[in-house]
Amino acid sequence: MSIRYTKFFTVVATCSAFATPLNAQNIDSTNVSTKMSDAAMQGVGCLALATPALAAAYAVGPTEIMMLVTGAVIVPSSASQLLISLGGILGGAACGVGAAITPNVLWILESLQQEKSSVQNTLAPNNLQPVAEIAPTAVAESTISTNEDMVQGWGCLAGVIGISALTLATAPVEIVGLSAGGVTVPTNSPILFLGMAGTVVPAGCTIGAAASLPMLVLSRNLGLDAIGQAIASLFNWNYHEPAQLSNSKAKYIEANVSAIEQIKGS
């Protein structure tokens, strides 16, 4: 298998990973039940992070990255051996991180979508349909909610950021070498970053995700969650105000309701 075919399969896999949820959404619009389960979405997240990581590794120097991540001193003799090794080690590491943060990415996308739909609900003249759309019962409830997967996803992200910052701030080459047991010195920054992606990054994600729930319980028991809620309210994270109508919207509703009543009366 040549490098050219490997790159082709990588591109196809990336497109497939990103196309899967979009395709599912399109089919769902035709009233066919294709809602993906949480595990299926995490699988998509795995592919969505692992495939670009593999593509980037192939672009900047797969053999050197493999030696950096695993500490190996053997140069693979063929592209297939390199692909299998790289997919198993670096792809597996990126897959785990991608699966862990998938609920959070979906939550962010859902939040953005809701903001967009609320903006689109701005009333247009001579359009009676928005009256129902902006009714308080329709906009008061949000489908966004937090669960354990999301907490673990935030923990994964915090662990990744924390351990990556600590690594980059001190001795990244040495730390990657220590973690992998290797002696390879990366020749440029992208190779170093991908080496970190295969060693310290999944480690930070694993420990951060596992420690997040006990830490959350501890903070609640100690009453420290009020501080977090206060910070979250500053940025409007997971903070839902009761639905309120602006004066212009209220006047528009009032005018349209009276118009409808007149039509019904006539």
Partner 1 sequence: MKIFLRTIMLAMPIAMFTLITTVQADETNTGLSEATQAGIGCLVLSSAALAAALWAGPSETVMVAAGGLLVPSGTTPLMVGLTATVAVASCGVGTAATPAVMWFAEQIGL
If one asks whether residue 174 binds partner 1 (CB under 8 A), the answer comes out as yes
Q: Which of 183, 224, 226, 250 contacts partner 1 by CB under 8 A?
A: 183
| Residues of this chain, 213-242, that bind partner 1 according to CB under 8 A | 213-218, 221-222
The answer for residues whose C-beta is within 8 angstroms of residue 228's C-beta and 6 or more apart is: 219
Q: How far is the CB of 69 from partner 1 (least distance, A)?
A: 11
* Closer residue to partner 1 in complex, CB, 72/105: 72
* Closer residue to partner 1 in complex, CB, 79/151: 151
| Residues of this chain, 5-64, that bind partner 1 according to CB under 8 A | none
Stretch that binds partner 1, among 166-174, 224-232, 241-249, 255-263 (CB under 8 A): 166-174
What is each CA distance from 94 to 16, 126, 138, 167, 196, in whole angstroms? 17, 51, 39, 18, 11
If one asks whether residue 92 binds partner 1 (CB under 8 A), the answer comes out as no
* Closer residue to partner 1 in complex, CB, 45/177: 177
If one asks whether residue 158 binds partner 1 (CB under 8 A), the answer comes out as no
If one asks whether residue 90 binds partner 1 (CB under 8 A), the answer comes out as no
If one asks whether residue 190 binds partner 1 (CB under 8 A), the answer comes out as no
Radius of gyration of the chain measured on its C-alpha atoms? 25
If one asks whether residue 165 binds partner 1 (CB under 8 A), the answer comes out as no
Residue 235 has which token pair?
């940025």
Q: By the 8 A CB rule, do 44 and 95 touch?
A: no
| Torsion sign across C-alpha atoms 30, 32, 38, 44 | negative
* Closer residue to partner 1 in complex, CB, 12/217: 217
* Closer residue to partner 1 in complex, CB, 17/68: 68
* Closer residue to partner 1 in complex, CB, 55/168: 168
Residue 56 has which token pair?
């980037």
Q: How far is the CB of 176 from partner 1 (least distance, A)?
A: 9
Q: Which of 33, 170, 262, 266 contacts partner 1 by CB under 8 A?
A: 170
Q: What is the 3-state secondary structure (H, E, C) of 120-177?
A: HCCCCCCCCCHHHHCCHHHHHCCCCCCCHHHHHHHHHHHHHHHHHHHHHHCCHHHHHH
What span, in angstroms and rounded, lies between the C-alpha atoms of 244 and 250? 9
If one asks whether residue 212 binds partner 1 (CB under 8 A), the answer comes out as yes
If one asks whether residue 145 binds partner 1 (CB under 8 A), the answer comes out as no
Q: Which has the closest alpha carbon to 151: 221, 208, 223?
A: 208
Residues listed for the chain: 266
Q: Which of 171, 227, 232, 257 contacts partner 1 by CB under 8 A?
A: 171
What span, in angstroms and rounded, lies between the C-alpha atoms of 28 and 31? 5
Q: By the 8 A CB rule, do 79 and 3 touch?
A: yes
Looking only at Cα atoms, what is the longest distance across the chain? 88
Please report, as ranges, the residues that interact with partner 1 according to CB under 8 A. Answer: 71, 148, 152, 163, 166-167, 170-171, 174-175, 177-183, 199-200, 202-204, 206-207, 210-218, 221-222
